[in-house]
């Protein structure tokens, strides 16, 4: 799905800013409140999560529908054009009315959706957009969750949202809302794949159009020089001695598509940025541009004070600056697709991304989450359809990003339980069919061990999240190191696939210090990391390490979290803990390529 852009043929306006907002009282849809101006609203910014923006616990913990509204004009000059209203994301469900008429609904909280609103808008007066946002997670959604209902003393229904993942269920219109125009004949979609044949860069493109199929395709370099030209809806184009997209040294070409109408005039155009690079898993190596790459970085979250999960471009710039400062070259979009704006920034900045769908918490019997009645996850949940949709929409959105080198189609599912393989096989097949150019992974947790895991054969890279030294063998790092070492070897012996430690970390209270290893202290976090480093450095099949987490983040309330998860190397407001300086020493000495092959 193409990112909205303004260019010589397309116009774009932003509908970000202050909207009107109210919680639903359970009767909004039945009373068709979307037909009139909303009553009893409060101001609410877009994009942002609404949860932390008032001093009202009912807003923070609301379960169910909320309403957003604003007014806007469209230019008379847009008559006859397609007028596309586009939401970057609405978490987790959105339904949209323009001037009282329903135009679109969308399931899934982390991918964009859009509709042509031209038939519904007024050109001679104000328009009203109303959005119903629903944040309920159940067994049919990704992530999964369950809503528990009880009654208070007065007999009122109280709904509590429970879920099996470790980040707060922030909700709202999280990403930009925009309107853009196109002609009736237009570029619908572009797919770009790149390869290298010797010194020649091969750029395969496929264009989908509406109306005319007569297109002109041009590739421009960063200086806007034309380096290749073509016509037709698909072709292989060649660029001699291209500048490759490399980690830390991004280079982006532009594929410009022009749609030509029957009279020879250009009616639509779209400029898609792309990088030329290859990705391949071979033996024990993860190859980018044919060279063994070593991932150093973090599992992250889109999470901040006040904004919650709302897009914050200043925060993104700060995070990228911190990642560069510390020497990281990559991150994982744990545990859902991040904003399109972050992905574009990663392309531009040469940061490598493992791109994950929101299939998190698919384990009903894990430790703190397991209720007294243990259930088989795969017989209980019914989210395969949403999961499929999430994969399709992620790949449709992110397929052209040079920064994306691997798809993660779930985080920590119950891979050890009966039914896991049957659940995941079709999803893995689907992912490979949609994108044969990138490796895929299902991020593994401790319970799906080399002896119990039923789904490791579906991953190209074994991405492991491990917490020995924290949840097990806390304060026994010597033992933790041995257990980790044995397990990694067992994986290698079993699968002969590269291993990537996608999570390892220890909760750490900034300012809590100690001369002896003391869990929760800043020193323990460093010792914990060092234990893992020592093990990983001995094993040449380990291709990467992502510390959990880049920064402290909000979680649901409970007895294992004090004001959120504290495994950040940075605090939630992005101040370095001791571990940040410690990691910086290490990361700056690890090169992007050939780390393991040079005998470290």
Query: Which residues have a catalytic role annotated?
Result: 412, 503
| Of residues 296-335, those binding ligand GCB (CB under 6 A) | 335
Q: Which is nearer to ligand GCB, 249 or 368 (CB)?
A: 368
Q: Which is nearer to ligand GCB, 399 or 567 (CB)?
A: 567
Q: Which is nearer to ligand GCB, 335 or 497 (CB)?
A: 335
Give the interface size with ligand GCB as a residue count (CB under 6 A).
Answer: 11
542 three-class SS? strand
Residue with tokens 């979009």: 333
Q: Which is nearer to ligand GCB, 19 or 163 (CB)?
A: 163
Q: Which is nearer to ligand GCB, 316 or 411 (CB)?
A: 411
Residue 411 as a binder of ligand GCB (CB under 6 A): the answer is: yes
Contact 165, 336 (CB under 8 A): no
Q: Which of 178, 192, 7, 196 is nearest to 83 (CA)?
A: 178
Q: Which of 496, 521, 502 is nearest to 510 (CA)?
A: 521
CA angle (195, 546, 478) in 5-degree steps: 135
For residues 429 and 378, give the distance between their C-alpha atoms in angstroms, rounded to a whole number: 18
Q: CB of residue 465 vs ligand GCB: minimum separation in angstroms?
A: 4
**468 pairs with which residues across the strands?**
472
Residue with tokens 């001679």: 124
Q: Which is nearer to ligand GCB, 460 or 503 (CB)?
A: 503
Q: CB of residue 550 vs ligand GCB: minimum separation in angstroms?
A: 12
CA angle (427, 430, 435) in 5-degree steps: 130
Residue 465 as a binder of ligand GCB (CB under 6 A): the answer is: yes
Q: CB of residue 366 vs ligand GCB: minimum separation in angstroms?
A: 9
Q: CB of residue 548 vs ligand GCB: minimum separation in angstroms?
A: 6
Q: Which is nearer to ligand GCB, 65 or 503 (CB)?
A: 503
DSSP 450: T
Q: Which is nearer to ligand GCB, 10 or 567 (CB)?
A: 567
For residues 588 and 542, give the distance between their C-alpha atoms in angstroms, rounded to a whole number: 18
CA angle (456, 457, 459) in 5-degree steps: 70
Residue selected from 300, 387, 567, 596 as contacting ligand GCB according to rule CB under 6 A: 567
Q: CB of residue 525 vs ligand GCB: minimum separation in angstroms?
A: 12
Q: CB of residue 91 vs ligand GCB: minimum separation in angstroms?
A: 17
For residues 507 and 68, give the distance between their C-alpha atoms in angstroms, rounded to a whole number: 37
Task: State the burial class of residue 158 (Cβ atoms within 10 Å of its Cβ: 0-12, 13-18, 19+).
Answer: exposed
For residues 593 and 122, give the distance between their C-alpha atoms in angstroms, rounded to a whole number: 57
Q: Which of 103, 125, 252, 267 is nearest to 177 (CA)?
A: 103
393 three-class SS? helix
| Of residues 346-385, those binding ligand GCB (CB under 6 A) | none
| Of residues 146-165, those binding ligand GCB (CB under 6 A) | 165
For residues 598 and 249, give the distance between their C-alpha atoms in angstroms, rounded to a whole number: 22
Residue with tokens 């604003």: 70
Site string for ligand GCB, 483-522 (x = CB under 6 A): --------------------x-------------------
Residue selected from 65, 69, 166, 319 as contacting ligand GCB according to rule CB under 6 A: 166
User: Hey, CA dihedral for 5, 6, 7, 9, is it positive or negative?
Assistant: positive
Residue selected from 303, 355, 393, 412 as contacting ligand GCB according to rule CB under 6 A: 412
| Of residues 237-276, those binding ligand GCB (CB under 6 A) | none
| Of residues 442-461, those binding ligand GCB (CB under 6 A) | 445
Q: CB of residue 564 vs ligand GCB: minimum separation in angstroms?
A: 10
Q: CB of residue 411 vs ligand GCB: minimum separation in angstroms?
A: 5
For residues 359 and 384, give the distance between their C-alpha atoms in angstroms, rounded to a whole number: 10
Task: Taking each helix axis as running N to C, give the angle between helix 522-538 and helix 477-495, from 0 to 180 degrees, rounded to the nearest 10.
Answer: 30
- Name the region of 97 (left: φ>0; alpha: ψ -120 to 50; beta: rest): beta
Q: Which is nearer to ligand GCB, 306 or 472 (CB)?
A: 472
Q: CB of residue 445 vs ligand GCB: minimum separation in angstroms?
A: 6
- How many helices (H) and strands (E) would you count in the chain? 9, 32
In DSSP notation, 35-75 reads GS--SS-EEEEESS-STTSSS-HHHHT--SEEEEEEEE---
Residues near ligand GCB (CB under 6 A) are: 165-166, 335, 411-412, 445, 465, 503, 548, 565, 567
């Amino acid at each position: 799905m193409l990112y909205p852009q303004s260019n010589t043929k397309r116009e774009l306006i932003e509908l970000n800013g202050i909207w009107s907002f109210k919680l639903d009282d359970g009767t909004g849809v039945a009373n068709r409140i979307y037909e009139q101006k909303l009553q009893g609203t409060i101001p609410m910014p877009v994009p942002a999560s609404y949860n932390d923006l008032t001093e009202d616990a009912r807003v923070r913990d609301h379960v169910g529908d909320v309403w957003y509204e604003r007014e806007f004009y469209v230019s008379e000059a847009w008559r006859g054009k397609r007028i596309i209203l586009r939401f970057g994301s609405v978490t987790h469900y959105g339904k949209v009315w323009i001037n009282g008429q329903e135009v679109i609904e969308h399931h899934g909280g982390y991918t964009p959706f859009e509709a042509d609103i031209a038939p519904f808008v007024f050109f001679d007066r104000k328009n009203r957009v109303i959005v119903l946002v629903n944040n309920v997670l159940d067994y049919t959604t990704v992530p999964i969750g369950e809503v528990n209902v009880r009654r208070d003393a007065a007999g009122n229904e109280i709904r509590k949202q429970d879920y099996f993942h470790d980040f707060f269920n922030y909700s709202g219109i999280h990403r930009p809302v925009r309107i853009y125009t196109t002609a009736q004949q237009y570029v619908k979609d572009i797919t770009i794949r790149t390869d290298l044949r010797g010194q020649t860069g091969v750029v395969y493109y496929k264009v989908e159009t509406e109306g005319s199929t007569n297109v002109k395709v041009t590739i421009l370099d960063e200086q806007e020089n034309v380096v290749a030209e073509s016509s037709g809806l698909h072709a292989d184009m060649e660029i001699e001695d291209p500048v490759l997209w490399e980690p830390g040294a991004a280079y982006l070409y532009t594929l410009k598509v022009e749609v030509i109408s029957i009279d020879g005039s250009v009616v639509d155009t779209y400029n898609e940025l792309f990088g030329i690079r290859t990705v391949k898993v071979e033996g024990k190596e993860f190859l980018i541009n044919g060279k063994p790459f070593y991932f150093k970085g973090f599992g992250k979250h889109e999470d901040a004070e006040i904004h919650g999960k709302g897009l914050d471009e200043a925060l993104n710039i700060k995070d990228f600056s911190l990642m560069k400062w510390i020497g990281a070259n990559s991150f994982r979009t744990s545990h859902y697709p991040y904003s399109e704006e972050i992905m574009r920034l990663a392309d531009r900045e040469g940061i490598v991304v493992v791109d994950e769908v929101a299939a998190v918490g698919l384990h009903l019997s894990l430790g703190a989450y397991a209720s007294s009645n243990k259930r088989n996850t795969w017989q209980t949940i019914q989210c395969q359809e949403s999961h499929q949709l999430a994969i399709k929409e992620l790949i449709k959105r992110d397929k052209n990003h040079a920064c994306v080198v691997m798809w993660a189609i779930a985080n920590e599912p119950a891979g050890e339980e009966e039914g896991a393989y049957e659940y995941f096989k079709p999803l893995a097949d689907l992912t490979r069919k949609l994108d044969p150019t990138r490796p895929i992974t299902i991020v593994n947790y401790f319970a799906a061990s080399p002896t119990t895991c039923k789904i490791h054969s579906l991953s190209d890279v074994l991405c492991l999240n491990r917490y020995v030294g924290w949840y097990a063998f806390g304060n026994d790092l010597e033992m933790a190191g041995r257990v980790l070492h044995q397990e990694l070897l067992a994986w290698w012996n079993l699968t002969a696939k590269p291993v990537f430690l996608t999570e390892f970390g220890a909760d750490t209270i900034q300012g809590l210090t100690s001369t002896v290893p003391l869990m929760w202290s800043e020193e323990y976090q460093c010792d914990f990391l060092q234990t893992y480093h020592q093990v990983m450095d001995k094993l040449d099949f380990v291709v990467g390490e992502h510390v959990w987490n880049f920064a402290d983040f909000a979680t649901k309330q409970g007895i294992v979290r004090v004001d959120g998860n504290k495994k950040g190397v940075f605090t939630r407001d992005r101040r370095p803990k001791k571990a940040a300086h410690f990691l910086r020493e290490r990361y700056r000495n690890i090169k992007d390529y050939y780390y393991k092959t040079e005998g470290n």
